[in-house]
Amino acid sequence: MASLMEELLDALGEEEKQYEALIELGGIKRDAVVKADIEVLGEVTAREQEAASALLNLSNKRTQVLHDMATVLGKDPEDMTINKMVEFLANQPKEQEQLMKRRDRLLEVGTQMQILNRQNEELLKQALEMVEFDLTLLKSMRQAPETANYNKDAYNTGTLLGGSGFDAKQ
């Protein structure tokens, strides 16, 4: 059981490190979005994918260790969580305290990650709105106003004035 506890604590510690790396990458991403640096944004996204893959592997490892611990304790492996494991360790205060510290730190880092993700999401939305505004502005600058020409049925023909910029002859 002691080796399973060490594995669980190690897995939680590694998850925390991966989340901290993601937080650092999120800060770099925020700066890249603000500066509109597409190259850096692409690099950061690739590194985030690697960290997310590592987190998935660590999550699977944590789940497997909890499953093994539940089996050793004679509990239902499907219902085992870190919080329940903390309860089961009531007779082992040292291990219980270590597990609670790792759990609390992981929750704290996860919360920081959520906040950063929301901020970056909002920045990306604003950047997209700005690009859409710029495109609309460029389109409207190239489009000439319609003339007030009517056909024989009194309908507007909708013809446009010259939209080629300058009509100067040389």
Amino acid at 107: L
Task: Dump pLDDT digits (tens) for 88-127.
Answer: 888 888 988 999 999 999 999 999 999 999 998 998 899 8
Overall pTM surpassing 0.85 (yes/no): no
What are 96's two structure tokens?
């219980």
Per-residue pLDDT at 57 exceeds 60: yes
C-alpha closest to that of 26 among 132, 116, 112, 138: 116
Residues 54-82 have a mean pLDDT of 89
89, 8 contact by CB (below 8 A) = no
Task: Please count the other Cβ atoms lying within 10 Å of the Cβ belonging to residue 89.
Answer: 19
SS3 content of the chain, % helix, strand, coil (to 5): 80, 0, 20
Within 10 Å of residue 8's Cβ, how many Cβ atoms? 23
Q: Which CATH number fits domain 2-142: 1.10.1760, 1.10.287, 1.20.58, 1.20.1730?
A: 1.20.58
Residues 157-168: pLDDT tens digits? 665 555 555 555
To which H or E segment does residue 93 belong?
A: helix 93-142
For the chain, give the mean pLDDT: 85
